[in-house]
A and B are shown apart, each in its own frame.
Chain A
Amino acid sequence: MLNRIMKAQRLMDAACLRLGRPINVMEVCGTHTVSIFRNGIRPTLPEGLKLLSGPGCPVCVTDQGFIDVVLELAEREDCIIATYGDMVRVPGKSGSLETKHEADVRVVLSSEDAMTLAERHPDKTVVFVAVGFETTTPATAVAVGEAAKRDLKNFCVLSGHKLVIPAMRALLSDKNNQIDAFLCPGHVSVIIGSDAYIPIVEEFGRPCVVAGFEPMQVIEGIAEICRQVANDAPEVVSIYEGVVSREGNKTAQALMDTYFEPYDGFWRGLGRIPGGTLRLKEAYEQFDAMRRFGIEEIPAEEPQGCRCGEVLCGLAQPMECGMFETRCTPDTPVGPCMVSSEGACAAWYKYGRRRRRNG
């Protein structure tokens, strides 16, 4: 183990030396962000290596306009809102689902739970607020397929599902971006396969390394990135063998393709991303909450002073925000990066505090 760590350190040092400037590695996935903090990886990295937390927390990248739509639907007496737990506390224009005491909001653990709710409450319409990247979308696809089969009329989906590759492309297309390489999300890659990153390497010449979440995997993933940077040889490499294949989960991909289509939806902090959000195909429009209720998502301004947008693009660190730890804390979150436990701000708040206090 020590040998592996020392080898990784050597690769990192070599890359820092070759570049002659700090290397910025973006960890796309919120789970990597948390793993890096929890395992104390940050202080062990060479000074010239900077980790940027990317837009990999689904709650964090959900535009406030989408939250406002959820809150609008929650006010309807004929609706039950079913959603994954993290969404409940995200503030919109007027409060959050948590503060809408009159609303019927149910936290579910799977899309199937949402369907079961619909079957149990035939007098109400269950709106499944579906967020998440490719890891989560197939589960929603299965639910829509089964709802269609069972002709479940009181079930619909408000899709905020996002795609990782268009977001990476959007980040690199911004001329101010400071990203030298990506540490790619482990479990999104289980679905999309590591080959999905080839176009990013070909188009932008940035290393894309898929790694697991165990500390040694994260360190070796960063080391592999450094090896590529030092040799100026960007490529897609997966060091998450035995879990991530090159082609991914074909069944899940086919299901997503059957029920969803990409469109240019809004992301918090990143704006409208071409082909970055998924909505249900027209053939399944009866299950699309937006179409069913005739509502439109209007992109919202970020709360004044909130820098979540810049944090998500790797342009600012959480503590550079004036509200961090003062007005914005996990108990009183202003921006979404403080709401989700996987958000960069929440992770810095929780795990970075002790270190800052001590030094």
Chain B
Amino acid sequence: MCLAVPARIVELEDDRAAVDAMGNRWKCRTTLTPGVQLGDIVLIHAGFAIATIEEVEAQKTWQLIAEFDAFQKEQEKGSEVD
């Protein structure tokens, strides 16, 4: 539950932002990270950005999420065979 997801800020007005990660777009608040700017990559948890992070770290998490997703699908396929 305490996993935060990195996403890039693609729209920003006051503390309301639209963010994008791996082609998924959603809304979040930036109340907890004052000073963020358009284009920054933030970690998002429960609808709020909690930190600004480096792109290289974001890439690692995005890759991990993609791997989890692939693993999940493989497991589901596996259980069907079982």
- Show the binding face of A for B, using Cβ within 8 Å: 29-31, 35, 38-39, 56-59, 84, 86, 109-113, 132-133, 135-136, 138-139, 142, 185-188, 190-191, 212-215, 217, 242-243, 249, 251-252, 255, 340, 342, 350, 354
Contacts and interface: CB of A to CB of B under 8 A. Distances in A.
B2 A110 contact: no
Interface string B42-82: 01011110110110110011011001100100010010000
Most chain B CB within a 10 A radius of its CB, from A56, A113, A136, A215: A136
Given A187-B43, A252-B32, 15 more contacts: A30-B1, A35-B64, A39-B67, A57-B1, A132-B2, A135-B46, A135-B50, A138-B32, A138-B48, A139-B45, A142-B48, A188-B2, A213-B61, A214-B61, A251-B33
Given A249-B32, A251-B33, A59 B47 contact: no
Contact of A58 (B1, B29, B64, B67): B1
B4 interface: yes
Interface of B: 1-4, 29, 31-34, 43, 45-48, 50-51, 53-54, 56-57, 60-61, 63-64, 67-68, 71, 75, 78
A322 B48 CA distance: 40
> Chain B: interface secondary structure?
mixed
Contact of B4 (A38, A187, A217): A187
A242 B57 contact: yes
Contacts of A249: 32-33, 50-51
Nearest to B44: A110
A29 B1 CA distance: 9
A56 B1 CA distance: 9
Contact of B46 (A30, A35, A110, A243): A110
A113 B48 CA distance: 12
B80 to A, nearest CB: 14
A252 B32 CA distance: 6
Nearest to A190: B51
Contacts of A29: 2
Contact of B68 (A38, A135, A142, A340): A38
Contact of A190 (B31, B34, B43, B64): B43
A242 B33 contact: no
Contact of A242 (B47, B54, B75): B54
Contacts of B67: 38-39
Given A31-B2, A109-B46, A136-B1, A243 B51 contact: yes
A136 B64 contact: no
B50 to A, nearest CB: 5
A107 to B, nearest CB: 13
A88 B34 CA distance: 33
Given A213-B61, A242-B57, A111 B2 contact: no
A133 B51 CA distance: 16
A243 B43 contact: yes
B48 A242 contact: no
B2 A133 contact: yes
B1 A59 contact: yes
B46 A255 contact: no
29 contacts: A31-B1, A38-B71, A57-B1, A58-B1, A86-B1, A113-B47, A132-B1, A136-B46, A138-B50, A139-B45, A139-B47, A142-B31, A185-B2, A187-B3, A187-B43, A187-B45, A187-B50, A190-B51, A214-B60, A214-B64, A242-B54, A242-B56, A243-B43, A243-B51, A243-B53, A251-B31, A251-B33, A342-B1, A354-B78
B7 to A, nearest CB: 14
Nearest to A130: B46
Contacts of B60: 212, 214, 217
A213 B47 contact: no
Given A132-B2, A249-B32, A139 B61 contact: no
Nearest to B47: A110
Contacts of A112: 29, 47
Contacts of B68: 38
